[in-house]
Amino acid sequence: MVKIKKFRIKNYKSIVDSGDCYLAEGITILAGKNESGKTSILEALEISISDKQIRDTARPIRHPEATPEISITFDVDKNNSKRACQGTGRLPHD
């Protein structure tokens, strides 16, 4: 199984720096007031996972010259790690 372990979003729409956000086992709830950035977090994660281009409209509101950064750390089980490394000539870490 492949799961998101943590993510960090910088300079994306209204998000200046989310800091490292760790996801708990089971269900994770994303809650907040209206216009607090919940949808922006989901959009940023989708962009990163699907390897889409970041739109110009996603530029930071406060500092439009800043470059958006989205990083995700995955937790990959041993079986999926082996499959992902097949054909790359690299071996997964034991």
Q: pLDDT digit string (tens) for 7-45?
A: 999 999 989 999 999 998 888 888 999 988 899 999 999
Is residue 42 within 8 A of residue 15, CB to CB? The reply is no
Q: Does residue 83 surpass a pLDDT of 80?
A: no
Q: How confident is the model at residue 64 (pLDDT cuts 50, 70, 90)?
A: confident
Give the list of residues 6+ apart from residue 66 with CB closer than 8 angstroms, or none.
Answer: 10, 11, 59, 60
- Whether residue 91 is predicted with pLDDT greater than 60 in this model: the reply is no
Q: How many CA atoms lie within 13 A of 61 on its CB side?
A: 9
Average pLDDT of the residues in 90-94: 54
In this predicted structure, what is the pLDDT of residue 65?
A: 87
